[in-house]
């Protein structure tokens, strides 16, 4: 992969030239376009039902309807799991690995002069593992292992990707750039999902089974991810931050580990950063769990089919595109913190309605999905931009490594809770309602966090509105 010349004078500050900043921002948006298809087509739609179907078949269930609530078990690595709980169990393990690996990786990226290469290779590993699922056949263990690798690589690539945000946008541009990137990602996810929906709905007419159509959708996601990653990297620049300048040469894991320990100790002197991260852990738990387990909940608990599910997810992408841009504008008027607090009230209402949804009611499910689409992108994009304001210059990847494990750590708790609930009940409905606690508690902690103090404590310029 070709590398743009490293800029030794710019440090990690955004370019003073607005034209150069806009060019880099457009490249940054393209990576959201590239990677969002993994979350949309694979995580949200395809992999949960597909992996559950493979596990249920291995357990001897005649179909997934019989598997839900039935006594059908698989035994990966000698453990006894209900077949429907294998997917959340794999997700839980993937998240645990990210919690262990991502902070160290972030510290290593900050010591590197080749951040673009880190982004390329993490995306390349994730896309290769995703595409390889096509070759795994009916082996639920092989599919689970490849999804685990892809999930870890996806999280690693986001650490590097997020670390570019303070380099391509000034303090007052962050909310706009972050929400625009999220919106562009939704468009990319929607475009590929249209193709996947058409393939799965018309699988008989093209001469393939539904399972094969799902596998084709997954492999095409991997190619899309890596292809657009190459285009995204072209306008971005490698910069030499403070840590990279102080430690020339290849990043050293031992040095990076010591630096990470220093940073964690340093964060104790800025307690409102920690309070923000705790709030994010909680409310993001609800968001991530809703995304990851909507698919098996719709197909198994509500008895809806792939066309309804994928049509709903597709509609969510278009609504979320507009919602992300709208909440970016709202944040410029009222501040990001107040805007996110408002979205958490909406999230609490939505998961309550989700718990009450009757089975076999596609119109109500679509309506619920549209409501989720309105707040989905705005909540996450504004949380990302808020945290970027609290990072000392030159420490972007390290701090976003910690941010990413806060995101994955919260999903770890949610996935663990879902795994236990599904293992006990055989379905997803009970787990869905528990998410309201995460939105309420996360909102309380965010309300108490003094973002102005956290930004000033990091030595950064205050944006016009917080």
User: Are 270 and 458 in contact, with CB atoms under 8 Å apart?
Assistant: yes
Which range of 197-206, 241-250, 392-401 scores highest in mean pLDDT? It is 197-206
Q: How confident is the model at residue 2 (pLDDT cuts 50, 70, 90)?
A: very low
Distances (CA, A) of 271 to 170, 281, 449, 452: 24, 15, 9, 12
Closest to 237 in 3D by CA, of 394, 33, 12: 12
Q: Which of 221, 215, 219 is nearest to 200 (CA)?
A: 215
- Specify the pLDDT at position 284: 87
How far is 285 from 298, CA to CA, in rounded Å?
19
Decide which of 434 and 118 is more confident: 118
pLDDT surpasses 90 at 245: no
pLDDT attached to residue 345:
94
End-to-end Cα separation, the chain, in angstroms? 39
Please give the torsion angle defined by the CA atoms of residues 198, 204, 209 and 212, in that order, rounded to the nearest 10 degrees: -30
Helix, strand, or coil (residue 239): strand
Task: Look at 191 and 459; give whichever has higher pLDDT.
Answer: 191
User: Is residue 408 scored above 70 in pLDDT?
Assistant: no
% of the chain residues with pLDDT over 90: 28
Angle at 356 between CA 353 and CA 362, to 5 degrees: 85
Q: Where are the domains of the chain?
A: 18-457
Q: How confident is the model at residue 260 (pLDDT cuts 50, 70, 90)?
A: low
The per-residue pLDDT for 11 is 57
**pLDDT category, 406, cuts 50, 70, 90?**
low
Q: Please state, rounded to an integer, the average pLDDT across all residues of the chain.
A: 84
User: Does position 242 have pLDDT exceeding 90, yes or no?
Assistant: no
Can you identify the CATH homologous superfamily of domain 18-457? MFS general substrate transporter like domains (1.20.1250.20)
Between residues 151 and 297, the one the model is more confident about? 151
DSSP 383-420: HHHHHHTTSPTT-HHHHHHHHHHHHHHHHHHHHHHHHH
Backbone angles phi, psi at 464, to 5 degrees: -60, -40
Q: Are 82 and 423 in contact (CB under 8 A)?
A: yes
Q: If DSSP codes are grouped into helix, strand and coil, which group holds residue 82?
A: strand
């Amino acid at each position: 992969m070709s590398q743009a010349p490293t800029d030794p004078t710019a440090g990690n500050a955004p370019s003073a030239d607005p034209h150069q900043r806009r060019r880099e921002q457009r490249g940054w948006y393209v990576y959201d376009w590239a990677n969002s298809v993994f979350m949309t087509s694979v995580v949200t739609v395809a992999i949960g039902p597909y992996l559950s179907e493979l596990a249920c078949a291995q357990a001897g269930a005649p179909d997934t309807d019989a598997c839900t609530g039935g006594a059908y078990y698989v035994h990966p690595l000698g453990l006894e799991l209900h077949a429907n709980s294998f997917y959340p169990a794999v997700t839980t393990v993937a998240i645990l690995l990210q919690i262990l690996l991502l902070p160290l990786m972030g510290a290593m990226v900050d010591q590197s002069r080749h951040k673009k290469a880190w982004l390329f290779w993490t995306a390349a590993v994730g896309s290769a593992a995703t595409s390889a699922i096509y070759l795994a056949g009916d082996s639920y263990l092989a599919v689970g292992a490849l999804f685990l690798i892809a999930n870890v690589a996806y999280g690693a690539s986001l650490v590097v990707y997020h670390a570019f945000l303070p380099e391509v946008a000034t303090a007052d541009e962050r909310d706009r750039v972050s929400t625009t990137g999220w919106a562009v990602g939704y468009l990319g996810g929607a475009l590929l999902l249209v193709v996947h929906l058409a393939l799965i709905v018309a699988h008989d007419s093209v001469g393939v089974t539904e399972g094969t159509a799902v596998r084709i959708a997954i492999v095409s996601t991997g190619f899309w991810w890596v292809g657009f990653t190459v285009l995204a990297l072209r306008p971005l620049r490698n910069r030499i931050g403070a840590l990279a300048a102080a430690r020339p040469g290849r990043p050293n894991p031992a040095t990076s580990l010591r630096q990470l320990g220093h940073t964690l100790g340093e964060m104790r002197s800025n307690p409102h950063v920690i309070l923000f991260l705790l709030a994010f852990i909680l409310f993001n738990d609800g968001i991530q769990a809703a995304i990851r387990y909507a698919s098996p909940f719709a197909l198994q608990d509500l008895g809806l089919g792939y066309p309804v599910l994928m049509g709903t997810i597709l509609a969510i992408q278009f609504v979320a595109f507009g919602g992300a841009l709208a909440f970016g504008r709202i944040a410029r008027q009222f501040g990001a913190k107040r805007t996110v607090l408002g979205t958490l009230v909406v999230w609490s209402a939505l998961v309550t309605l989700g718990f009450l949804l009757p089975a076999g009611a596609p119109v109500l499910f679509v309506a619920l999905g549209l409501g989720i689409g309105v707040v989905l992108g705005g909540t996450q994009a504004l949380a990302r931009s808020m945290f970027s304001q609290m990072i000392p210059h030159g420490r972007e990847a390290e701090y976003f490594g910690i941010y990413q494990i806060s995101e994955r750590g919260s999903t770890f708790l949610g996935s663990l809770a879902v795994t236990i609930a599904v293992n006990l009940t055989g379905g997803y409905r009970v787990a869905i309602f528990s998410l309201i606690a995460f939105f309420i508690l996360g909102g309380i902690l965010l309300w108490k966090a003094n973002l102005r103090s956290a930004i000033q404590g990091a030595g950064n310029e205050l944006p016009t509105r917080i």
